[in-house]
A and B are shown apart, each in its own frame.
Chain A
Amino acid sequence: DTAVSQTPKYLVTQMGNDKSIKCEQNLGHDTMYWYKQDSKKFLKIMFSYNNKELIINETVPNRFSPKSPDKAHLNLHINSLELGDSAVYFCASSQVRGMPAADTQYFGPGTRLTVL
């Protein structure tokens, strides 16, 4: 059973298109995250939701819009895709146990987005 799953695994699209990446976790966690890993493998947080509420919103272009329909799902929609959006996007989840900064995050397998 996959704990954190993402679809699709690969996404190739043209500049200017709109695309979505879906994430689901079956761990019963209440916090979910989106990270971007660039071509140099540098991993940076983009967004975090806790019980469907946005709690972290880094300096990300507003072309990126996360949506959390329930606490088990966190989707990422990207409008007007640009070449620089090419990266691997990771979803993660964690269970808050009193000290959110100390929580273990569980990562999905990643979605490799290529913008042509």
Chain B
Amino acid sequence: AQSVTQLDSQVPVFEEAPVELRCNYSSSVSVYLFWYVQYPNQGLQLLLKYLSGSTLVKGINGFEAEFNKSQTSFHLRKPSVHISDTAEYFCAVSALEYGNKLVFGAGTILRVKS
């Protein structure tokens, strides 16, 4: 089975500082990887996804993530955060072999302070 671990439940950071949200997955097959963001009282919105090709994926709002197959990681980064980035971020994985189901991590709350 596939699973996703988000190592930090909360990440506090000051405005304009860089941030990294960590995600590790376990799977015995090739997977597709996603980062979704959930703003307070809203549904989830896709930030970026890795399907194949270049391991560095750029998404919306200045976020990027790097796929590292040897470390089975897909960490999300932003060089300079804004107050408006305060939200919960979910890493997710899917694979054909697992019925195309999207399996989510437990989420990381990013709190940006002024």
A59 to chain B, nearest CB (A): 12
For residue B40, give the distance in angstroms from its CB to the closest CB of chain A: 11
For chain B, the count of residues having a C-beta within 8 Å of the partner chain is 25
What 3 A-B pairs have minimum CB-CB distances, sorted nearest first? A107-B43, A100-B100, A101-B94
* B43/A104 in contact, CB under 8 A: no
Residues of B within 8 A of A (CB): 32, 34, 36, 41-46, 49, 51, 88, 90, 94-96, 98-104, 106-107
Closest to A110 in B: B43
Cβ of A44 within 8 Å of any chain B Cβ, yes or no, is yes
Residue from the list B43, B49, B107 in contact with A41, Cβ < 8 A: B107
The minimal Cβ–Cβ distance linking A105 to chain B, given in whole angstroms, is: 6
Interface contact B106-A107, CB-CB below 8 Å: no
Q: How far is the CA of A105 from the CA of B43 in the complex (A)?
A: 11
CA distance A110 to B38 in the complex (A): 11
Q: Besides the contacts A45-B102, A101-B94, what 12 more A-B pairs have beta carbons closer than 8 Å? A: A4-B43, A41-B106, A43-B90, A43-B107, A45-B103, A99-B51, A100-B96, A101-B96, A104-B34, A104-B46, A105-B44, A109-B41
Select from chain B the residue with minimum beta-carbon distance to A45.
Answer: B101
CB contacts (< 8 Å) of B101 on chain A: these are 45, 48, 56, 58
Which one of B41, B44, B46 contacts A90 once the chains associate, using CB atoms below 8 Å? Answer: B44
- Bound CA span A4–B44, Å: 11
- B16 to nearest A CB, angstroms? 27
Q: Is the CB of B106 within 8 A of A40?
A: yes
Q: Once the chains are docked, how many angstroms separate the CA of A92 from the CA of B92?
A: 15
CA distance A4 to B43 in the complex (A): 9
Docked CA distance A42–B99 (Å):
20
Interface residue? A60 (CB, 8 A): no
A15-65, CB < 8 A from B:
40-45, 48, 56, 58
